[in-house]
Structure 1
């Protein structure tokens, strides 16, 4: 399982630049009308807005890694492309700049972060999944099925569960993820060797919040499917009714999780 290591940028920045390349390739193949398509998984957004968001996020993270401080994206020179044909290279350049900055700074450099790990390496990981999930949003808008490296998808489930409690600062409904020991089990049904031996997650709701672990156990509610689909599920891109996953057990409990586990 990919996780924060002594040098996480060696893993996360490489995957980030690969994901940025996939997003850039997707944008290269768009027709003029595709840019204005509504993105169902990002209500009110178009494909163009998602693309701008990805490149903006890269440049925002780069500025913070460089300074170590929280930066205001409104004050950054984002260099938006003048036309659609400039977006692929703009996406590539933003990811490459972040990868270089993290490598130069060192993964353990203290950097402001809204999540639980205030380091440069954590921003590499956060931007990897920001890019991957939003690349999936654009593909879904185009009627395609997003595909992910199993290692990336498994790490993305880990990262989501790791940062979710901190996201309550700007998404207060996360604080409703409490209970009396109820459990939700996520079980990857494919590519376990590629994703790692721990491509299962057990989430336990407790009075003060939730905890999670890599555990093979029966949950009161369970979601089974390919690890890439579990990735999309935890990030709110697949509903419990989606045909790509199988839901077992307590549907009310799972609905409670889905409604509140988002930011």
Structure 2
């Protein structure tokens, strides 16, 4: 991804702000269960994010996926580890810039700019997780939520992950998502997912609403009543299942 200076600053500022908020909520207590992640607590979320940050620091340092990963983090105190990792990922992104060649999971982008964007969205969705544990959810900036919809649809959903038909939801239909005047059209079958910008052609089901609830619904962080649905509800359920397969 070729990022402008403004885009890079936008993502980096959100990594910093969302991670800071995540740590702030963590300091309220690590024990509460996280409703959107069954079996996880606030502690689980912070440790997960710290490990993700450390992994991406290594990816950026090596320009490749690290081998023998992960190391043993079991002895690390959660909040101390998280604070170190959140400072270190910002430093690593700033040091490498946005144009370095590196490993990513996107077939279309092998630059470090990919990780600026991915870490912003990693941070915000898990910030929501810990806030939900305390029922103190704070807003997501609309521009970030819209970008998060786009990023979740491609590369996370629309990458070449389905060629072997490894899905429990082989829905064969077209779904359209609309938020704040932007639309995405998603064509699914048992072995592929194709994403296009815009609202051309017919769709079996449409999902629409404000950017934040749509973004959170796509990630499984809010229920169906947070968004609006038109068309075939079975297709919507299968589509949501397909999303769950690629985000867990």
State the TM bucket, normalised to the shorter chain. 0.7 to 0.9
Displacement of 1:157 after TM fit? 0.9
Give the whole-Å Cα distance in 1 for the aligned partners of 2:54 and 2:233: 40
Displacement of 1:17 after TM fit? 0.9
Report 1:92-171 matches (<5 A): 92-116=83-107, 117-163=109-155, 164-166=157-159, 168=161
Report 1:1-263 matches (<5 A): 5-6=3-4, 8-28=7-27, 30-31=28-29, 35-71=30-66, 72-75=68-71, 80-81=76-77, 87=79, 90-116=81-107, 117-163=109-155, 164-166=157-159, 168=161, 173=166, 176=169, 179=172, 182-188=173-179, 192=180, 199-205=182-188, 209-216=192-199, 219-240=203-224, 243-262=225-244, 263=247
Displacement of 1:47 after TM fit? 1.0
Give the whole-Å Cα distance in 2 for the aligned partners of 1:94 and 1:167: 31
Displacement of 1:146 after TM fit? 4.6
Give the whole-Å Cα distance in 1 for the aligned partners of 2:81 and 2:48: 12
Give the whole-Å Cα distance in 2 for the aligned partners of 1:174 and 1:119: 29
Indicate how the Cα distance of structure 1 residues 136 and 119 shifts in structure 2: closer, same or farther if over 3 A, else same: same
Equivalenced residues, count = 239
CA RMSD of aligned residues (A): 2.8
- Paired residues of 1:61 and 1:98 also in contact (CA < 8 A): yes
Give the whole-Å Cα distance in 2 for the aligned partners of 1:73 and 1:130: 19
Which structure carries more strand by proportion?
Answer: 2
Give the whole-Å Cα distance in 2 for the aligned partners of 1:92 and 1:12: 19
Deviations 1:54-74 (A, max 9, x none): 111111101110111212442
- Paired residues of 1:99 and 1:124 also in contact (CA < 8 A): no
Which residue is 1:195 aligned to?
none
- SS of the counterpart of 1:148? coil
Give the whole-Å Cα distance in 1 for the aligned partners of 2:97 and 2:227: 39
Q: Which moved more, 1:132-141 or 1:9-18?
A: 9-18
- Paired residues of 2:60 and 2:92 also in contact (CA < 8 A): yes
| Unaligned ranges ≥5, structure 1 | 193-197
- SS of the counterpart of 1:75? coil
- Paired residues of 1:17 and 1:99 also in contact (CA < 8 A): yes
- SS of the counterpart of 1:107? coil
Give the whole-Å Cα distance in 2 for the aligned partners of 1:40 and 1:138: 9
Indicate how the Cα distance of structure 1 residues 68 and 76 shifts in structure 2: closer, same or farther if over 3 A, else same: farther
